[in-house]
Amino acid sequence: MNSVQDIWNEIMKILSKKLTPTAIQTWFSECKPIDWDNSRLILCAKNEFTQSILISRFSNIIKEALYDVFSSDCEVTILAGEDELQDYLETKEPSSKNDMLPEMQGFTFDRFIVGNSNRFAYAAAKAVAEHPGGQDYNPLFIYGNSGLGKTHLLFAIGQAIHEQYPKKRIAYVKGDDFTNRLINSLQNRKMQEFREEFRKVDLLLVDDIQFIAGKQSTQEEFFHTFNSIYEAGNQIVITSDRPPLEMSLLDDRLRTRFEGGVMADVQPPDLETRMVIIRNKAAQLGLILSEEAVFYIANNITANIRQLEGVIKKLTAYKEILNEVITTESVRRAIEDVIRTGNDIPKPDKIIKETSRYYSISEEEIRGQNRSKQPSEARQVAMYLMRSLTNLSLKEIGEQFENRNHATVLSSIRKIEEVLKTDSAMALKIRDISSNINSV
């Protein structure tokens, strides 16, 4: 049975307790559930007369029943007859108005759940969307841990500005993609095209800017890109997993510019906000959850919105694929699956990759025998991180570095431990690389 039919069955159970059998038989017997579309129930009445009665007399009570089911506000649309039903089905294809920003579709302000943990960031993002390019909010720098909604706000700004100003030129890029595209442009002698793409825009959206820290050529190029856009009176919005002050390898010129706008942090949501997020996501997917299930999820997943959404999707899969009735045991199992996935121990290759990227040297140099200062330090840091973040033995760590013996590995780890006692810069390096390793 599809989810819209399940929803309609629940609604009819509630309506049967509030309306007379005659009213149910007269007005609802030939009313069919058609679709569940982003918290909106689509119904089809047999003709226009029945449609008008359902809208005027019963639409509010249907909305109340939907609220009883999902614990969140939902809408209802009532079509009339086969012609309107056919028109709806033919026009149901996703709108193409945001084709130039396909990755942003669905991430709108009205789907962002606002709580005490993100209220300022949300307000600042709305202000930018309403008046892009204003000096008071330029740049807007949104920071916080992974999975808390930074990218959602970034995309919501992009969509809102595109809808209000369809002719404005918008560019979106991730920090590491900016680096990769810069390298490709240099290699292929296409720097002019690269600069045209990013400097001559009305809105630049940059996700995970922390990945450019320590990459001198990338920072130099981004500095000039930033200046070109800012001096033209256009808008820049940036996200990061930490504030500029905590990016130890960030160019001082960029740090000053980032801090010269509005900085807004997002924190993990409180219990009430987590419960609203769960209800909202469940309503979007047409999943009916009891209050006990909502509380259980919110009480067990406390730090990451992405994990909350993952649990709801997992429960939806249980229901639709396995035809499983959602019980407390289902919720517990879904939470265990998501938390286990979210806390996977990083692979050694990932640790070496992120360490090499941070130090701007090759993975081969870290694994190999180069004893110059930077490769040696990077190698010691990678060994330290493997010891800290994985369950590998000293022998297994050594195998990742051309079979170095366990004594060499232990010596490298102890060197970093000693440095960390007195060197705050090294502590920031370890934090930066660890954060990049754990980024989703």
Q: How large is the C-alpha radius of gyration of the chain? A: 27
- Asked if 55 contacts 28 with a C-beta cutoff of 8 angstroms, the reply is no
- Asked if 153 contacts 117 with a C-beta cutoff of 8 angstroms, the reply is no
SS3 174: strand
Examine the pLDDT at 142 and tell me if it is beyond 90: yes
- Amino acid 317: pLDDT: 82
CA distance 386 to 384: 5
What residues pair up with 33 in beta bridges, in sequence order? 43
For the chain, the structural domain boundaries read 3-90, 102-265, 271-342, 348-438
Give the range among 70-79, 86-95, 257-266, 361-370 with minimum mean pLDDT: 86-95
Q: What kind of architecture, by CATH, is found in domain 3-90?
A: 2-Layer Sandwich (3.30)
Nearest of 251, 245, 341, 325 to residue 293 by alpha carbon: 325
CATH code for the domain defined by 271-342? 1.10.8.60
Q: pLDDT band for position 339 (50/70/90)?
A: low
For residue 249, which phi and psi values (nearest 5 degrees)?
Answer: -105, 10
* pLDDT averaged over every residue in the chain: 86
Which of 9-13, 94-98, 343-347 holds the top average pLDDT?
Answer: 9-13
CA distance 172 to 289: 36
What residues pair up with 75 in beta bridges, in sequence order? 40
Q: Determine whether 325 is exposed, middle or buried from the number of CB atoms within 10 Å of its CB (0-12, 13-18, 19+).
A: exposed
Mean pLDDT of 340-351: 74
- Amino acid 203: pLDDT: 94
Q: What is the pTM of this model?
A: 0.66
Ramachandran quadrant class, 277 (left: phi over 0; alpha: psi -120 to 50; beta: rest): alpha
Q: pLDDT band for position 439 (50/70/90)?
A: low
Percentage of the chain surpassing pLDDT 90? Answer: 34
- Amino acid 97: pLDDT: 41
CATH code for the domain defined by 348-438? 1.10.1750.10
Cα 297 from chain centre: 19
Give the range among 30-39, 49-58, 196-205 with minimum mean pLDDT: 30-39
Q: Domain 102-265 classified CATH 3.40.50.300? A: yes
- Asked if 155 contacts 189 with a C-beta cutoff of 8 angstroms, the reply is no
User: What are the tens digits of pLDDT across the range 255-265?
Assistant: 999 999 999 99
